[in-house]
Amino acid sequence: MKICIVAEGCYPYVVGGVSGWIHSMIQAFPEHEFIILAITTDREMSGKFEYKLPQNVCAVYEAYLDDLDWSEGKKEGRRTKLKRSDYRALRSLLMNRRVEWDAIFEMFKNANFSIDDLLMGADFLKIVTEYYNLNFPQIPFSDFLWTMRSIYLPLFLMLKTPIPRADVYHCVATGYAGVLGAMGNKLYGGHLLLSEHGIYTREREEEIIKAPWVKGIYKGIWIDQFKKMSLVAYEKADLVTSLYGHARELQLELGCPEDKTVIIPNGIDVEKYETIPGKTEEDEGYFNIGAILRVAPIKDVKTMIQAFSFAKSKVNNLRLWIMGPFNEDKEYADECFELVDALGVKDIKFTGRIDVSEYLGRMDCTILTSISEGQPLTILEGFAARKPVIATDVGNCRELIYGSEDDDFGPAGILTHIMNTQEIANAMIDMASNDEMRMKMGEAGYNRVHKKYRIDQMRDCYREIYNDFY
């Protein structure tokens, strides 16, 4: 069977998290061929893979959200005139009506127009003007028109992306990935499987609300755009998975049919962490706190550094290991380095990308101060090594730490509020000051991960799904 993995902004360009999950999934099913349809920012990212692709990956297709118009036969000054059926489909998309997605997919598959011509043409202008007059006549039209063009440019680029034929399109998010999976499902008849690690629409909504570059009513327009893109993925999908109960509830709120939903938790290779090396001579006398993450704003490394600085002033033998790549957002990483220097805090180590199994055994606990997460694999890996965690109350972290109704193992760490420097610092101090508590938490996490979060359990669930599709 040929399976097309459709992913945005992660595999194979970025390590950890969802990318690591995709990599392990491909390796878990050597009997199937995989195609990667990778959505990234622009052509500068082309081929810059952080993973050595498994042997059962037979092809990689790349789609760019920011790209030039490569249409053949483009003539200077020409403007596209759409067929009546195509105009009606485009109008349904722009007007936020019941979107005629099947017609949209066919329109772009057979497109003999350039995207530039479409966006600058009379048909697009006419529909946008109608939408404007009905809903937003109080704002300047020129600003509105250019905003609409900027909203639809990346979507139109995706819709003109060549999509490979596959038996299954397995999307690891909604959004642009979900649209491409739905398009493959329509054009070639392949099954559509959607696996959400975080709820894409909610994450984009949070980003847009906070974004200084999106002003006033335009925030709502952008949010509506992501909602309708997610809805087509939910509607076309044969099955939609989530990692935990609350994520499934959010999917239902966003319009996913209940009978399509199923919860499949993350799974890790627990045996991998049974015999990892422990502390070294370099660790003697130190209490090591390990943060396994990408140095990026969503991980809120700055709050972690500030909290550590305060905790270090109270407990001198603390040491913080920030383990993961810092080339994803160089500006943010530089700000983190500068913050360490400004605070004058000692014993913070940035390792860059590492093999987690070589370092995790040296840690006394792990930490995650993210402002958004799904079901973090790094917490599960720490649990497999009997390491309790300090984590912010995002995603599924609360359930990972405290368990659900079907286990009585007890707390496996300390939960804090996001961006709460004092709480996070106090949690570091508590971990370092109470050996008995920390050991009990480590055992609770170990028991929990063995019961519910093993890779063989996850693999069996997806094998059954793939077999049903075959």
Q: What is the mean pLDDT of residues 314-327?
A: 95
Q: What is the mean pLDDT of residues 144-165?
A: 95
Q: What is the mean pLDDT of residues 138-144?
A: 94
Taking all residues of the chain, what is their mean pLDDT, rounded to a whole number?
94
Question: Does 467 reside within a domain?
Answer: no
pLDDT at 76: 46
Residue that is last in its domain, among 151, 170, 191:
151
> Helix (H, G, I), strand (E, B), or coil: what is residue 259?
helix
pLDDT at 210: 85
- 216 burial type by CB count under 10 A (0-12 exposed, 13-18 middle, 19+ buried): exposed
Indicate whether 53 and 96 sit together in one domain: no
pLDDT at 293: 94
Question: Does 365 reside within a domain?
Answer: yes
Question: Does 242 reside within a domain?
Answer: yes
Task: Give residue for tokens 């360490």.
Answer: 340
Percent of the chain residues topping a pLDDT of 90: 87
Query: How many structural domains is the chain composed of?
Result: 3
Indicate whether 312 and 214 sit together in one domain: no
pLDDT at 80: 66
Contacts 24+ apart (CB under 8 A), 48-52: 48/13, 49/12, 49/13, 50/12, 50/13, 50/14, 50/15, 50/19, 50/325, 50/353, 51/11, 51/12, 51/15, 51/19, 51/23
pLDDT at 160: 93
**Which of 69, 72, 183, 85 has the alpha carbon at shortest distance from 119?**
69
pLDDT band for position 110 (50/70/90)?
A: confident
Residue that is last in its domain, among 263, 298, 320:
263
pLDDT band for position 413 (50/70/90)?
A: very high
Q: What is the mean pLDDT of residues 324-351?
A: 94
Separation of alpha carbons 271 and 384, rounded Å: 8
pLDDT above 80: residue 197: yes
Question: Does 433 reside within a domain?
Answer: yes
pLDDT at 96: 85
pLDDT band for position 446 (50/70/90)?
A: very high
Q: 26: which residues sit within 8 A by CB, 6+ positions away?
A: 5, 34, 54, 56, 57
> Helix (H, G, I), strand (E, B), or coil: what is residue 41?
coil
| 91 HSE (CA, 13 A, CB side) | 13
pLDDT band for position 16 (50/70/90)?
A: confident
> Helix (H, G, I), strand (E, B), or coil: what is residue 433?
helix
pLDDT above 60: residue 74: no
pLDDT at 211: 87
pLDDT above 70: residue 71: no
Q: Tell me the residue type at 367.
A: I
Question: For every residue of 199-257, which 3-state class applies, written as one string?
Answer: CHHHHHHHHHHHCCCCCCCHHHHHHHHHHHHHHHHHHHCCEEEECCHHHHHHHHHCCCC
**Which of 266, 262, 255, 342 has the alpha carbon at shortest distance from 305?**
342
Q: What is the mean pLDDT of residues 187-191?
A: 95
pLDDT at 72: 54
**Which of 285, 365, 357 has the alpha carbon at shortest distance from 321?**
365
pLDDT at 215: 86
**Which of 369, 312, 370, 364 has the alpha carbon at shortest distance from 340?**
312
Instruction: Tell me the pLDDT tens digit for each residue of 339-366.
Output: 999 999 999 999 998 999 999 999 999 9
pLDDT above 90: residue 182: yes
Question: Does 186 reside within a domain?
Answer: yes
Separation of alpha carbons 40 and 66, rounded Å: 9
Q: At what angle do helices 218-236 and 175-188 cross, to 10 degrees?
A: 40
pLDDT at 288: 98
Indicate whether 103 and 165 sit together in one domain: no
Q: What is the mean pLDDT of residues 245-272?
A: 96
Whole-angstrom CA distances from 90 to 79, 108, 119, 125, 135 are: 16, 11, 11, 11, 18
Find residue 63's DSSP bridge partners: 39
pLDDT band for position 77 (50/70/90)?
A: very low
CATH number of the domain residue 243 falls in: 3.40.50.2000
Q: Tell me the residue type at 454.
A: R
Indicate whether 89 and 175 sit together in one domain: no
- CB neighbours of residue 406 within 10 Å: 7
Q: Would the CA dihedral through 293, 384, 388, 354 be positive or negative?
A: negative
Question: Does 78 reside within a domain?
Answer: no
Indicate whether 274 and 379 sit together in one domain: yes
Instruction: Tell me the pLDDT tens digit for each residue of 358-410.
Output: 999 999 999 999 998 999 999 999 999 999 999 999 999 999 999 988 889 99
pLDDT at 269: 93
Question: Does 168 reside within a domain?
Answer: yes
Indicate whether 316 and 448 sit together in one domain: yes
Residue that is last in its domain, among 151, 178, 202:
151
- CB neighbours of residue 222 within 10 Å: 20
Per-residue tokens: 349:
């180590």
Question: Peptide bond before 12: cis, by omega within 30 degrees of 0?
Answer: yes
Q: What is the mean pLDDT of residues 256-280?
A: 95
Indicate whether 275 and 391 sit together in one domain: yes
Indicate whether 61 and 165 sit together in one domain: yes
Separation of alpha carbons 325 and 335, rounded Å: 15
Indicate whether 146 and 236 sit together in one domain: no
Q: Which range marks the domain in which residue 127 is found?
A: 85-151
Residue 236 contacts residue 185 (beta carbons within 8 Å): yes
Indicate whether 147 and 170 sit together in one domain: no
| pTM, two decimal places | 0.91
Indicate whether 145 and 176 sit together in one domain: no
Indicate whether 420 and 319 sit together in one domain: yes
Separation of alpha carbons 450 and 36, rounded Å: 31
Question: Does 56 reside within a domain?
Answer: yes
